[in-house]
Amino acid sequence: MNISMNELKASLRRCFEASSYFVGNYEDAANMILWLEKHGLNGLTELERLLPFINEDRDKPLSSVVYEDSTSAIIDSHGRSALNCIAASVDLAHAKALENGIATVTVHNCHNRMFILKALTDRGRCGISVAAYWQNGSQTVTEHAAAIKAGERYPSYSEAVTNLPANTDDKQALTIICSSRVDLTASLQQSKGNRNARYISAEQVAENKQHSVENGIEIDNDLWDEVNRIGTGVLVENTELSRQGAGGR
């Protein structure tokens, strides 16, 4: 079915709020998914993939800094979804870059890393350049790179299927490079063995957005129902007492 971006955002907010995401974070999570979908980068596919695990993060430890110096940090996200932890990592890279010109933050044990694109965009808009790189897949390894220039509104994104051997010790890692001095770009090299490579320029990302703004968003009925079903967790039962709090006669 066709829905508006605002409907998707509102339903996702309820969905994550009902799944124990905290204030501020459920808005972020909703915005991250919406951003990807709105810009033609399959946010709803990512959402579908994570929904079965949506409640798992509530019992996991919060991210912790395992190493830090003035220009770098390593953060362990303890298997959390990027939806509820990656923005803080990008912010840390941003702060270090402002102090030192360039900084690197590596995040370990983080799922759904594609959602970093929204966090990159927010930082780019605030006048700093950011690039991110990660690999994914336990059998076939894919690699991904995204970057935004300082002051821009849209990032570029590239991905490819590699012939790299699967890493049995996969740390679900992601590397963030941030600079207040250098405009970073990130496109995957034409490496031997890479296939199905695609590069989406910032201009294409902007064009994709125009389509969503004009026409709204297509969503699978079952997925829409499921998001809304989870979201009912924030609604309070309709009782006589409750009706009095609505102010009606």
Partner 1 sequence: MTTPAAIQNSLRGDNALPLRPPSQVMDLERLGALHQSRLSFMRTLVRRIMRERWQIEPARFELDAEGYGTVVYEIQAPHGLYSFVLFSDYLSPDERNDRVIATKWDLTMALVEGQVDDTYLEKLRQNVPKQEAGRVDARVFVLSRANRSARNFDYVVDQLAAGQQPDVDRIAKVGYLYRTTAVYGSGKLGMADWEKVRAKHKDFARPFAGEMFVCLMLRNFSLLQAEHIAAHKTPNTFKPMQPQIKRYFGIGNSTGLGMAPFLVNHPLLINQWIEMRELALARVRALGNVNSRVQQELSTLIERCAQHTRDTVTEDEWQTRNNVQVLEDLAALQSHTADGFDNWNSLLQWSEANNSLQGQEMLVSIMLEIYPELVDELEDYHDAEEFLDLDPLMPLQQLKQVIETRYDWALATDFTAEGARETCWYRSEEKMEPRLGSVADEEAKQKQMALGVGYAVSKCYEQLCSYVAEHPQHTTARFMVARPKMRGIVRRIQSMNRCVYGDIQANLLDQNILPMHLLRCKLAFFGVGKFDPRSKLWVRNTMFQGAPLLEDIGKPFSDDWFMPLAPLQSGQL
**Region near partner 1 per CB under 8 A, out of 140-148, 149-157, 158-166, 212-220:** 212-220
**Region near partner 1 per CB under 8 A, out of 19-27, 44-52, 141-149, 192-200:** 19-27
Q: What are the b/e assignments for 40-77, b being 16+ CB within 10 Å?
A: bbebbebbbebeeebeebeeeeebeeeeeeebbbbbbb
Residue 66 interacting with partner 1 (CB under 8 A)? no
Q: Residue 170: which of 191, 140, 132, 190 has the closest Cα? A: 140
Letters for 152-191 (x = contact with partner 1 by CB under 8 A, - = none) are ----------------------------------------
Task: Candidates 15, 50, 75, 205: give the one binding partner 1 (CB under 8 A).
Answer: 75
Radius of gyration of the chain from its Cα atoms, rounded to whole angstroms: 19
Cβ atoms of residues 81 and 63 within 8 Å: no
Per the DSSP assignment, residues forming a β-bridge with 196 are none
Task: Candidates 5, 161, 164, 182: give the one binding partner 1 (CB under 8 A).
Answer: 5
CB of 133 vs partner 1, minimal distance in Å:
20
CB of 55 vs partner 1, minimal distance in Å:
16
Q: Residue 132: which of 82, 66, 181 has the closest Cα? A: 82
Footprint on residues 98-137 left by partner 1 (CB under 8 A): 98-99, 122, 125-126
Q: Residue 191: which of 164, 155, 171 has the closest Cα? A: 164
Distance of alpha carbon 127 from the chain centroid: 20
Q: How many CB atoms lie within 10 A of CB 165?
A: 7
CB of 223 vs partner 1, minimal distance in Å:
16
CB of 181 vs partner 1, minimal distance in Å:
15
Task: Candidates 59, 222, 237, 240: give the one binding partner 1 (CB under 8 A).
Answer: 237
Q: Please state, in angstroms and as integers, the Cα–Cα distance from residue 70 to each residue in 92, 100, 103, 183, following that order.
A: 11, 7, 8, 20
Q: Which residues contact residue 105 at a Cβ distance below 8 angstroms, ignoring those fewer than 6 apart?
A: 72, 73, 74, 75, 89, 90, 92, 93, 96, 175, 176, 178
Task: Candidates 88, 114, 130, 202: give the one binding partner 1 (CB under 8 A).
Answer: 88
**Region near partner 1 per CB under 8 A, out of 18-26, 51-59, 110-118, 138-146:** 18-26
Question: Which residues are at the interface with partner 1 (CB under 8 A)?
Answer: 1-7, 22-25, 27-28, 62-63, 65, 75, 84-85, 87-89, 91-92, 94-96, 98-99, 122, 125-126, 213-216, 232-238, 241-243, 245-249
